[in-house]
Structure 1
Amino acid sequence: MALPIVHHPDYDAESVPDSHRFPMRKYSLLADRLRARGETFAVPAHAPERWLHLAHDPSYVTAVLTSSVDAKTARKIGFDMTPAIAARTRASVGGTCLAARLAVQHGAAVSLAGGSHHASYEGGAGFCVFNDVAVAARVALEEGLCRKVAVIDCDVHHGDGTASIFAEDDRVFTASMHCEDNWPRIKPPSDLDIGLPRGAGDSDYLDALDGFLTTIFSRAKPDLVFYNAGVDPHQNDRLGLLSLSDDGLRERDRKVAEACARRGIPTVGVLGGGYEKDAAAVARRHSFMVDALAAATAPEGRSAFSSPQ
C-alpha cells in the first residue's frame, strides 16, 4: 500500500491573511502539490474534546472551543482565537491521531499539518494552539496502539511544550534538535536535547543528526515514533537562524525515515514550522518528508516516487 496521507480542508484557516508571519497557505499548496501527482488523502474527524484533555488544561480547551481565550494568551499564540482557528486545530489534532493509527497498520503515515510543539498543558504559544503530537501520543498509549513513544523533533525551535507535557511520563521519550540561540528563550529539558549554534549548515547538522538518532533509539526503544519535520532550519527561513539547503533537508528526512524503517518502528510524520514568505517554497520543502517516508517504507522492488524539483 502507498504511504497513507491525512489531510482535512480545515488545515488551511482562511481567516489568517497572507500578510501574517505564519504562511497558512502552505497547507493547501502542499495538498494541491501532492494531488497533482496522484496522491489521495484520508480525511480525519475533528478531535473530540475528551482527547484534548489528555494533554491540556480543560479550562484552556473550553476557552479555545468557545472563542473566549483571553487577549494575553491569544497574543502569545499569535492568532485571533476564532471558530475557524478552533476548527483548524481540532482537525490538526484529529489528523495526527488518525496518522498514528495508520502508521501502526502500514509502517508509516503522514498528516499534512501538525507539529504544534510549543503548546503546553497550560496553553498555547508560538502559533501552536493544541499540541497535536502530545494528544496523539496519549491517545495511542490509551488505546493500546503502542507501549513506548519517541518524539523526534527536528523543527528549528525547541519543542518546549512537548517536553513539559511529558516531563513526568516515562512512556514518552522527547528529543529535540534545534537552534540553541533561537526562541523559546526558556527551554524546559527534553529527554534528549541537541542545541546547534546559529548558522550551522548541512554538514554540521547532518553529523549531529547521526548521533542524535543513535542515542534516541538506544535509550528510548520506542514502538511508535512521531517525527516533527519542520523546514524552518532552511537558510531562507525568516525565523530559523540555521543554514540548511534543500538538499540538507532532504537528507535529514531520509536519515530519520530510514532509521525508523530499519528498526521496523511505525512512524508518524507531521509538518512543523516553515516561515519563508514564499509559501509555495515552504510547501515544496514539506513534501521532502512525505517522499522520505514513502521511500523508506516502500515494498522491496517497488520504486517510490521522488520529489519533483
Structure 2
Amino acid sequence: MADDDQPDHENPSETDKHIKLDRAASALSNHRTQLYFDVAETCWPLIYCSEYNISFWGMEKVHPFDAGKWGRVYEFLKEAGMIRDDTTVRPREASADDLMIVHPKRYLDSLKWSITVAGITEVPPVALLPNFLVQRKVLRPFRYQTGGSILAGKLALERGWAVNIGGGFHHCSANHGGGFCAYADITLAIKFAFEYCGISKAMIIDLDAHQGNGHERDFMTDDRVYILDIYNRGIYPHDGYAKRGITRKVELQHFTEDSQYLELVRRHVEGALNEFTPDLVVYNAGTDILDGDPLGMLSISAQGIIERDQIVFQKVRTRSIPIMMVTSGGYQRSTARIIADSLLNLRAVDLISSEAAENAPLVDPGPLSSKALLKSRSDGEGWFSKLRRNCATSTRSSTQEDFDDPTELNEGAETGMPRAVSEDLGRRNRKDTEID
C-alpha cells in the first residue's frame, strides 16, 4: 500500500479497538470541561471570537488558506444587522485535558516541536519559530476554534441548530494532523455529545472539496457514526485507508459544475437520512468547492454553495434533527462573503432563527466604576496598554505552561513597538484624544 493507505499506526485487532473505546469512555467519565456552558437565550447559536484569526508577521500568507476569513465572515454578518457582539457566543479555548479525550499525549507532545506544526500547516517558515510563539500564534487559534466546535454540538442539541464560524479540521485524526488541521474538532464535538449530552448516534455530512480522512479514521469502527463524504477524488489527501470509514462515498471529478453537484447533494443527503436517523448532524460546509479554488479544483458557483447549504439544512431540519455547521476549507478571499451570504439566506428562508436574539435590546454598559475603568485600561488593546503590559511582564520568567496565555511575549515584536507607540502617542496627543 502507498503511505496514505496505511493506518495511523499498526492495524488494530477487534479486541484492541474495544479496549481503546473503553479507555476513551473512561477518560470522558472522569473529565470535567469548561467548554460546555449555559448560553443566554438572547444570543444566536453562532459561535465566534477574535482569537480564531491567525496572524504571524505575514507567514500565514505562504499557505493559500485565508487565515483571517473567520473574522471577515463575522464582520459581514454584523454589517448585515444579523448579529451583534452581545448576541454572539464566545467560546473558550480547549485545554490539554479536553484535547486528550481524543488525542494521545504523544500527539500533543509532538506539537511542541515547531517543525511538526510547520508540516501540519504547510508553512515551512514556522519550523524556524520558537515553539512558544507557535503555540500562541498558530495553535491557540486552532484550540479556540476547537472549543467552538465542541460547544456547537451542545447548542445544536438545545436550540436545533448551531454554527461555529470556524472549525472543520477534518484532516486531523487522533494521531495525526495535516492539511492545516492540528486538532480533530469534529471527532471531539461528537465524542463530547455522546458523553455529556447523552446522544447515541451521529452523522457527519462532509461537503468540503477534500476527503475528510481525519474523522473517517477516528470513527472507522464506530457504528454509532454515519459518514457521508462528497469530495474531489483527484486531490489531497488520497487516503485509501480512511475511505474504509466512509458509509456513503461520492467521488467527484475535477471541474464538476452546479447542476450535477447539487443533484448529487440532494440525492445522497436524502439517502443518508433515510438509511440512518442520527441524534445530531455535523455539517462540514467547506467552501473550497468554489469555482477557481486553487486546491478544490471544482467549479461550483457562489449561488451553488448557498443552495447547497440550504438543501442540507432543509433536509435535516424538516426531520427535526439538530444540526451543527463548521466552515472548514475555502482558499479564496471571496469565500468569507459567500459564507456570510449563505447564513443570511438560511435566516431569510427561516431555516435558522432566534426570536430572542432578534429582539434582544441593545446592551448599555453604563458608566464604568473607577475600578472597572482601570481594569478595562489594563486589558485594553491600545498601544499604551500594550506598552504597560510589556513593561510589567518584562522581568517575569519565560517558562510557562504549554496551554497558558503567554503574556510574557514581547508584544512590541508583534506590533512594531516602541517606535509605533511613540509615533501613535504623538499623533493622539496632538489631537487631544484619549489613548485607550
Q: TM-score, normalised by structure 1?
A: 0.89
Deviations, residues 245-279 of structure 1 (Å, cap 9, x unaligned)? 11111110000011111010111110010012xx2
CA RMSD of aligned residues (A): 2.0
Q: Which amino acid aligns with 2:118?
A: A
Range 183-192 or range 151-160, more displaced? 183-192
1:306 equivalent in structure 2: none
C-alpha distance in structure 2 between counterparts of 1:62 and 1:68, whole Å: 8
1:177 equivalent in structure 2: 230
1:1-309 equivalent positions in 2, closer than 5 A: 3-15=44-56, 16-38=59-81, 39-40=83-84, 41-64=88-111, 67-68=112-113, 71=115, 74-79=118-123, 80=126, 82-83=134-135, 84-187=137-240, 188-189=242-243, 190-276=246-332, 279=333, 281-294=334-347, 295-298=350-353
Deviations, residues 154-213 of structure 1 (Å, cap 9, x unaligned)? 000000111001101122112211111121122422122100111110000011111211
Q: Which amino acid aligns with 2:70?
A: Y
Residues 207 and 286 in structure 2, CA contact (< 8 A), matched pair in contact too? yes
Q: Which amino acid aligns with 1:93?
A: T
Change (3 A) 1:9 1:72: closer
Residues 232 and 252 in structure 2, CA contact (< 8 A), matched pair in contact too? yes
Range 188-197 or range 226-235, more displaced? 188-197
Residues 78 and 127 in structure 1, CA contact (< 8 A), matched pair in contact too? yes
Deviation at 1:18, TM superposition (A): 3.4
Q: Which amino acid aligns with 1:286?
A: I
Q: Which amino acid aligns with 1:31?
A: Y
Change (3 A) 1:73 1:253: same
Residues 47 and 165 in structure 2, CA contact (< 8 A), matched pair in contact too? yes
Deviations, residues 98-139 of structure 1 (Å, cap 9, x unaligned)? 111111111111111011000012121001010111111111
Change (3 A) 1:194 1:166: same
Residues 230 and 286 in structure 1, CA contact (< 8 A), matched pair in contact too? no
Change (3 A) 1:258 1:134: same
**Of Structure 1 and Structure 2, which has the larger fraction of its residues in helix?**
2
Question: Does the residue aligned with 1:18 lie in a helix, a strand or coil?
Answer: helix
Change (3 A) 1:220 1:231: same
Question: Does the residue aligned with 1:129 lie in a helix, a strand or coil?
Answer: coil
Q: TM-score, normalised by structure 2?
A: 0.64
Deviation at 1:19, TM superposition (A): 4.5
C-alpha distance in structure 2 between counterparts of 1:292 and 1:56, whole Å: 36
C-alpha distance in structure 2 between counterparts of 1:108 and 1:3, whole Å: 10
Residues 101 and 145 in structure 1, CA contact (< 8 A), matched pair in contact too? no
Structure 2 unaligned spans of 5+: 1-40, 359-436
C-alpha distance in structure 1 between counterparts of 2:207 and 2:189, whole Å: 18
The higher radius of gyration belongs to 2
Question: Does the residue aligned with 1:24 lie in a helix, a strand or coil?
Answer: coil
Change (3 A) 1:145 1:92: farther
Deviations, residues 214-257 of structure 1 (Å, cap 9, x unaligned)? 22112221010111110111112111111101111111000001
C-alpha distance in structure 2 between counterparts of 1:61 and 1:290, whole Å: 34
Q: Which amino acid aligns with 2:182?
A: V
Q: Which amino acid aligns with 1:42?
A: V
C-alpha distance in structure 1 between counterparts of 2:233 and 2:98, whole Å: 32
Structure 1 unaligned spans of 5+: 304-309
Query: Which gives a bigger RCO, structure 1 or 2 (Cα 8 Å, sep 6+)?
Result: 1
Range 48-57 or range 128-137, more displaced? 48-57
